[in-house]
Structure 1
Amino acid sequence: MEQELEPPFIIEQIKRAGPFSMDSDHYHDTYEIYYLLAGERSYYINNLIYTLRKGDLIFINKNELHRTTSKGSVRHERILINFEEDFLQKTLANYDLSIPFLTTQSLLLRPGVHEQGAIESILFSMLKEQEEHRSQQIPYLQTLLIQLFIEMNRVQEISREPIAPESSEKQLKVYEMIDYLQAHYVEKLTLEQLSETFFISSTYLCRLFKQTTGFTIVEYLNYIRIKEAQRLLQSTNTKVTTIAENTGFDSIAHFGRVFKQIAKCSPLQYRKQNR
């Protein structure tokens, strides 16, 4: 009987001829690998902004906030892989393989031309396998994923040209804002207060943050708060009302609305599903 490919592993290739920026904040409880086949992209991850060019690869760990936006030439083409924890563990079960980047927040790689060829060969094999729906598809994809991990390990070991974050004066100012939001998210923050803290008008502050990261300040602040709420729901027995207060929300109703918008379930449902 043929084995259907289920959501635990998905790979897709997309080519866009016009400008495209993600219009929503983005993090998930699956692992992600992003490979840029052509063009340029601005990529926001781990509080920093990177300029990606052809051949760059990013591994994103679970629940890492990230977003891509247009950069330079509007045309771009990319391959994206998403896979769940269970798929990963079953993939690794029969291999004695060390994969250091699985325990870090993310991995950014800039492979050389030879390494790009090896990586693209694996990715196109994955795409072909997913499309054809042949027998024993899942184990075949698992072996390809192992090959991809090995190539990524080898590129990381060489590390000829690591991808450095952008560091213009404006971006450094935004990084400073992000650090402040992460340190003070429990407080009742206002645009007026942030404006006074960073000595710039609230209008310019909002525009600069959005242009640099792709997020509004409120969007980013809500994600910090909800990620902490998810951690508390999963690892403690603290009441939901207390968690709402301890993560900076002014009411349980507001907390519930934002939590469901981001996590796609209620706080109590999240606790039940992740225990």
Structure 2
Amino acid sequence: MEKSLRFINGAQAEELVENLKKVGKHTITNNHYRAEGEIGSFDIWLYDELETLLQVFVFDISLNELFEFEDIQTNEDIYTIRFALGAKVDYSDTQVGHGSPVGAVIYNSGQTIKNYIQPNQRLRGVTCRVEKAFLKRMSKENWKNIEGFLSLNKPWIYYESITPEMEQCILDMLQLQQNVNGRYGFTTGKIFELVTLFFLQFFSNRSLKAFAYISPRDKEILFEIKDRLLFDLTKSLSLQELSRDYGINIAKLRNLFFQVFGSTPLQFVMKERLFEAKRQIIMTNKSITEIADITGFTDTSHLGKLYRREFGVAPLVHRKRK
């Protein structure tokens, strides 16, 4: 039994079927492709009504063994945005995720991206393949800036945190796949909402005029640093420590980290703490004191002050709205 799937320039229905045959017994019900075998189970819902302009895969995959997805993109005007929840994923030499919401990545064509999914994990999320024409329609007010960034002729990959709003959008889409009446229309609406949320954050975090090529080795180091920062949000690592441990000077580290993640390492950790605090407030019944403790804030006052600055409301206001 093969432990890898290979997609070239996206996946038409025929290619999706051929790939799932490698997994084991498979079934097709409307746009739902399911396969199950020794390596695990695959549920994929394909939305390609807009053909190459926008192609979307909603997926729910449970794996028993290490598994590889190989994504080969040669179409120049195709860009991939992948949102993942609940697993650790390696993008070629760069790791994304350590449980809970993993994160989102966007990358261009002209490269092969290998995604290694660790064994005994469940991976859920959404993959969007979009043409430049679609992005132009979605980002009219930002198009002059984004056009230059998209036209970089060397391979690039950039990361964004999954906000609680993005996470809820993804969970809504997964729920809609359970034979909900009107799911095609509702799912399409959620796809537009998710992509819009992604680019709103992407634009707000970056000066697109400053984009530059980053070597594969530097990219690998940056994602290693990101994963280390996310491993324990209660700990703060200084630029000096990171510079020493990874053999990269402070100025270069700060600049390149900002390029890929839209913030300095310190800002990145603080943003992730606030996103996790918001997630805990909205999705759990834990006390504000407990949430402040597990997300690395000194006390509820410290959390409340930064939370209001970031989200415009006090933590308890979000708790009452949930």
Fold similarity call, TM over 0.5: no
TM-score range, shorter chain: 0.3 to 0.5
Structure with greater proportional strand content = 2
TM-score, normalised relative to structure 1: 0.44
